[in-house]
Chains A and B, each alone.
Chain A
Amino acid sequence: MLEFFAEHPGRLYVAATLLPLVPAVLILLIGTVRNLTRPYADVPGIAGWLYARLNHPRVELAGAWLSIGVMGLVSFIAVYGFTTLLYEHYLPRLSGEPIAPWNLDDTRLWNVNADGGQIDWIRFGSTPVPDAELDIIKAHSIHLGYWIEIDTTVMFAMVAVVGTMIYVFSLGYMRNELKSTTIDETLQHARRGRFGRFYLYLNLFVIAMFNLIIADNLLQVFISWELVGVCSYFLISYYYERREAGWAANKAFIANRIGDVGFLIAIAISWSTCNTFMIGALGAEMPWHGALEPLFSPTMRTLLGLGLFLGCVGKSAQFPLQVWLPDAMAGPTPVSALIHAATMVAAGVYLVARCYPLFTPDALLVIAYTGCITLLIGGTVACVQTDIKKVLAYSTVSQLGYMMLALGVGGWAAGVFHLLTHAFFKALLFLGAGSVIHGLHHEQDLRKMGGLRRKMPVTAWTMFIGVLAISGFPLLSGWYSKEAILTAAATFGVAAPSHVVLAVVPFLVAGLTAFYMFRLWFLTFAGEPRDRHVYDHAHESPLVMTIPLIILAMFSIAVGWGWPAWEPEASFLYELLNHQHWPSSHFWDDPQDPLLNAATLLHEYHLLLELIAGAIGLFGFAVAYWRYVLRTPRFHATNTEPRGFLGQAWYFDAVYDACLRKPTQNLAVFTAAFDKQSSDHGAPRSLDGLLNGIGQLAANTGRGLRGIQNGQVRGYVTILGLTVVGLLGMLAVLTR
């Protein structure tokens, strides 16, 4: 068995992807059997006995522990795979030439061609036929395959580790669901606990997410894309009795469908032009990757990129589809941490990064501007939210905007690096928020918190680390990745002065980030308690919840480290990603390469850039400290729901409601009027009326004719006689 994996190390990742299927199937099986035997609970016999055995919190806990164990194993495999790839292939070359990705025949990488890690999934036709016109070999099957590069291994390890932490955390957070009857906190009604279902969905999500990460072709990505989407849907509507949870799930699902249209268009273009779904093969068709005679036109290339990006806009909650992510907080908090902060929403960023060479300069500009707008929206709206999870949700939107911006301006490594560091500290922040919510008995309103650092010190100080990390405090992971992004943005601003706004906005929003994150922390943990009742009943969370917080806090501190630590570029992970060298298509036909020139130029001023970013961040912190610590009483005065432009999140929901929902609904009402009775007793109108009229005509004619056929022979004979007389008369007249 070990030889099997040693032969093709990429197989380890396939095994790791499929491993969570074991607990998922077991939990599903147990749940099904339990539900089937429930009617026989009080009947003696095997069914009742089975139900009594299975209907026990211990069974559900066993499923959860099995899931955690499997995730631990997957984490081990992921870390093992990462270090192996690192030591065997990357470290020996780190000082040498940049490693070119996209070389599918390179045996250094665990990719499909070198590894044989590909199977035919659907076969059609018999043998590959060369197409004379297109000069390609017509594909005859759809593949399933994996393609492991350094960013894949890092992302995989991140999802596995964060996932494990969140699995453990959920043991404590979802403990209420273990009871056979639990009281819903919002609706105050009793229902059956759903502990097993929670872990089932988490396992399904993790499988889909892993598959998305290792997939080597767009179709396989799309399948996983939809699977993570549906798991997100299930988990947002986990408390489906709550109305807003159901609405939020629908909203998320529909927003994602809009994006998926673009993804499908991109897949269709890739198949119809290049006859393949393979990301690597598609990249090889791009002129900036040395394709002399590209198979498809520049317009199609841009369209392919924009289509892919539209999918990512939906999944990663970018402008203009960012509206679903804040609402998705209706799900349980560990879900918000895993799916709607650390992994699934980052899948869009990951896909853009993975398909990076497919994007034309125009498409990259669209990505950069979308990211820029998104980070501005998220950053500004987060400043006024009063729900602890909503602040974090808008913060996530903003940080995803940062990643997209970085990718759009050519900072591939910066974007991916920020994706990784963000996953750790945002998972930490969400779990911290979950711990607070748990400790306050499901109170999420920042206005009722305050002073909690005395009651829940571990949560407070681990969250403080997360706040420092996301605000870009030096030597914490967020500092390295944010510096990388800001440098990439500034580089692009210098290289293309007409797009200087892309460089300015991220700097300003860095200050906003510091402001809203410290606002969150101060309102929750600092000062004096604002709601005595909430404060008195607050308690620190159990160890099973605080230990994941501590581990994630350590990751948030250290994941960006390198030597020398005070140099942002020296971050080991960043250097590793940067070394993989994914050039953007910006200026690809310009031999001068303005980006490289700008980078050399900026390198001399990098200390100045760091100082500016640091000063802006410090300013944000100072404003937050002044407003929410020195002037706390003022917060009482403004103790209202968030209102206005920012409170309504730039009126996006209102505009969508007025421009999309209302017209659609009015159209539906208008259309329905054609087919409806005007009132309860009124005549049917239009089409329905016409059809009914035809029927009515036949019925009325029949009713009229019925009077003639009265069964009296006299009448018949009279008619008969008169007819004969008439006919004879006609005959006489006509034959005269």
Chain B
Amino acid sequence: MVEFGFPAFLVLSAFLFACGLTCLATKRNAIGILMGVELILNAANLNFVAAARFVPTFRLEGQVFAVLVIVLAAAEAAVALAIFLNFYNNHATVNVENATDLKG
């Protein structure tokens, strides 16, 4: 079995983060944006897990942080989806460019 080093995980994580950021910046669809956020969070998660594997002093903390981030992502998804549902009920769309009700 080929053993990948720590940098390979970091590169993958950076790639995932860039994907998530691009998704965040380009999508008009609220669900798409939520997906981008998930990608960014998971890029961070990958970093934590990789660090728990390769950095000896970070063994336990890395895993704990990863679990924390998963919980946080779940909560965030729940809240965000609730908002979007409500938004959809009112506007019949999830396009964020239509979310201008509070604009002065």
User: Which A residues are closer than 8 A to B by beta carbons?
Assistant: 711-714, 717-718, 721
User: In angstroms, how far is the closest chain A Cβ from the Cβ of B20?
Assistant: 10
In contact, A712 and B97 (Cβ under 8 angstroms) = yes
How far is it, in angstroms, between the C-alpha of A711 and the C-alpha of B98 when the chains are bound? 11
Other A-B pairs beyond A712-B97, A714-B96, 17, CB < 8 Å? A711-B100, A711-B103, A712-B96, A713-B33, A713-B96, A714-B24, A714-B25, A714-B26, A714-B27, A714-B28, A714-B33, A717-B21, A717-B24, A718-B25, A721-B21, A721-B22, A721-B25
User: In angstroms, how far is the closest chain A Cβ from the Cβ of B9?
Assistant: 19
Point out which of B21, B25, B26, B28 has the most chain A C-beta atoms below 10 A from its C-beta. B25
13 A-B pairs with C-beta separation under 8 A:
A711-B100, A713-B24, A713-B33, A713-B96, A714-B26, A714-B28, A714-B33, A717-B21, A717-B24, A717-B25, A718-B25, A721-B21, A721-B25
Query: For residue B96, which residues in chain A have a CB less than 8 angstroms away from its CB?
Result: 712-714
How far is it, in angstroms, between the C-alpha of A718 and the C-alpha of B103 when the chains are bound? 20
How far is it, in angstroms, between the C-alpha of A714 and the C-alpha of B36 when the chains are bound? 11
Query: For residue A713, which residues in chain B have a CB less than 8 angstroms away from its CB?
Result: 24, 33, 96
How far is it, in angstroms, between the C-alpha of A712 and the C-alpha of B97 when the chains are bound? 7
How far is it, in angstroms, between the C-alpha of A712 and the C-alpha of B33 when the chains are bound? 12
Interface string of B89-100 (1 = CB under 8 A from A): 000000011001
How far is it, in angstroms, between the C-alpha of A711 and the C-alpha of B99 when the chains are bound? 9
Query: For residue A714, which residues in chain B have a CB less than 8 angstroms away from its CB?
Result: 24-28, 33, 96
Work out how many contacts link A and B, with CB atoms closer than 8 A: 22
Query: For residue A717, which residues in chain B have a CB less than 8 angstroms away from its CB?
Result: 21, 24-25
| Number of chain B residues whose Cβ lies closer than 8 Å to a Cβ of chain A | 13
How far is it, in angstroms, between the C-alpha of A17 and the C-alpha of B67 when the chains are bound? 106
Query: For residue A712, which residues in chain B have a CB less than 8 angstroms away from its CB?
Result: 96-97
Query: For residue B103, which residues in chain A have a CB less than 8 angstroms away from its CB?
Result: 711
How far is it, in angstroms, between the C-alpha of A543 and the C-alpha of B97 when the chains are bound? 100
How far is it, in angstroms, between the C-alpha of A217 and the C-alpha of B33 when the chains are bound? 95
User: In angstroms, how far is the closest chain A Cβ from the Cβ of B59?
Assistant: 29
User: Which B residues are closer than 8 A to A by beta carbons?
Assistant: 21-22, 24-28, 33, 96-97, 100, 102-103
How far is it, in angstroms, between the C-alpha of A712 and the C-alpha of B26 when the chains are bound? 11
How far is it, in angstroms, between the C-alpha of A721 and the C-alpha of B24 when the chains are bound? 10
Query: For residue B26, which residues in chain A have a CB less than 8 angstroms away from its CB?
Result: 714
User: In angstroms, how far is the closest chain A Cβ from the Cβ of B28?
Assistant: 7
How far is it, in angstroms, between the C-alpha of A714 and the C-alpha of B27 when the chains are bound? 8
B102 nearest in chain A by CB position: A711
User: In angstroms, how far is the closest chain A Cβ from the Cβ of B48?
Assistant: 20
How far is it, in angstroms, between the C-alpha of A712 and the C-alpha of B25 when the chains are bound? 10
How far is it, in angstroms, between the C-alpha of A87 and the C-alpha of B100 when the chains are bound? 107
A715 nearest in chain B by CB position: B25
Query: For residue A721, which residues in chain B have a CB less than 8 angstroms away from its CB?
Result: 21-22, 25
Query: For residue A718, which residues in chain B have a CB less than 8 angstroms away from its CB?
Result: 25
How far is it, in angstroms, between the C-alpha of A721 and the C-alpha of B19 when the chains are bound? 11
Query: For residue B33, which residues in chain A have a CB less than 8 angstroms away from its CB?
Result: 713-714
User: In angstroms, how far is the closest chain A Cβ from the Cβ of B38?
Assistant: 15
User: In angstroms, how far is the closest chain A Cβ from the Cβ of B58?
Assistant: 24
User: In angstroms, how far is the closest chain A Cβ from the Cβ of B73?
Assistant: 18
How far is it, in angstroms, between the C-alpha of A711 and the C-alpha of B24 when the chains are bound? 14
How far is it, in angstroms, between the C-alpha of A718 and the C-alpha of B22 when the chains are bound? 8
User: In angstroms, how far is the closest chain A Cβ from the Cβ of B81?
Assistant: 17
How far is it, in angstroms, between the C-alpha of A713 and the C-alpha of B26 when the chains are bound? 10
B24 nearest in chain A by CB position: A717
How far is it, in angstroms, between the C-alpha of A532 and the C-alpha of B102 when the chains are bound? 89
Query: For residue B22, which residues in chain A have a CB less than 8 angstroms away from its CB?
Result: 721
How far is it, in angstroms, between the C-alpha of A718 and the C-alpha of B25 when the chains are bound? 5
User: In angstroms, how far is the closest chain A Cβ from the Cβ of B83?
Assistant: 13
How far is it, in angstroms, between the C-alpha of A14 and the C-alpha of B28 when the chains are bound? 99
Query: For residue B25, which residues in chain A have a CB less than 8 angstroms away from its CB?
Result: 714, 717-718, 721
How far is it, in angstroms, between the C-alpha of A711 and the C-alpha of B104 when the chains are bound? 10
User: In angstroms, how far is the closest chain A Cβ from the Cβ of B95?
Assistant: 11
Query: For residue A711, which residues in chain B have a CB less than 8 angstroms away from its CB?
Result: 100, 102-103
B23 nearest in chain A by CB position: A717
Query: For residue B24, which residues in chain A have a CB less than 8 angstroms away from its CB?
Result: 713-714, 717
User: In angstroms, how far is the closest chain A Cβ from the Cβ of B36?
Assistant: 9
How far is it, in angstroms, between the C-alpha of A99 and the C-alpha of B33 when the chains are bound? 116
A706 nearest in chain B by CB position: B104
How far is it, in angstroms, between the C-alpha of A59 and the C-alpha of B85 when the chains are bound? 91
Query: For residue B102, which residues in chain A have a CB less than 8 angstroms away from its CB?
Result: 711
User: In angstroms, how far is the closest chain A Cβ from the Cβ of B27?
Assistant: 7
User: In angstroms, how far is the closest chain A Cβ from the Cβ of B11?
Assistant: 14
User: In angstroms, how far is the closest chain A Cβ from the Cβ of B39?
Assistant: 13
User: In angstroms, how far is the closest chain A Cβ from the Cβ of B15?
Assistant: 14
B26 nearest in chain A by CB position: A714
User: In angstroms, how far is the closest chain B Cβ from the Cβ of A723?
Assistant: 12
Query: For residue B28, which residues in chain A have a CB less than 8 angstroms away from its CB?
Result: 714
User: In angstroms, how far is the closest chain B Cβ from the Cβ of A324?
Assistant: 65
User: In angstroms, how far is the closest chain A Cβ from the Cβ of B103?
Assistant: 6
How far is it, in angstroms, between the C-alpha of A713 and the C-alpha of B97 when the chains are bound? 10
Query: For residue B100, which residues in chain A have a CB less than 8 angstroms away from its CB?
Result: 711
How far is it, in angstroms, between the C-alpha of A711 and the C-alpha of B27 when the chains are bound? 15
How far is it, in angstroms, between the C-alpha of A2 and the C-alpha of B28 when the chains are bound? 110
How far is it, in angstroms, between the C-alpha of A718 and the C-alpha of B21 when the chains are bound? 8
User: In angstroms, how far is the closest chain B Cβ from the Cβ of A708?
Assistant: 14
How far is it, in angstroms, between the C-alpha of A713 and the C-alpha of B29 when the chains are bound? 12
User: In angstroms, how far is the closest chain A Cβ from the Cβ of B30?
Assistant: 10
Instruction: Enumerate the 9 nearest inter-chain pairs by beta-carbon distance, A residue then B residue, closest first.
Output: A718-B25, A717-B25, A717-B24, A721-B21, A711-B103, A714-B25, A721-B25, A712-B97, A717-B21
User: In angstroms, how far is the closest chain A Cβ from the Cβ of B89?
Assistant: 21
User: In angstroms, how far is the closest chain B Cβ from the Cβ of A729?
Assistant: 14
B100 nearest in chain A by CB position: A711
User: In angstroms, how far is the closest chain B Cβ from the Cβ of A718?
Assistant: 4
How far is it, in angstroms, between the C-alpha of A713 and the C-alpha of B34 when the chains are bound? 12
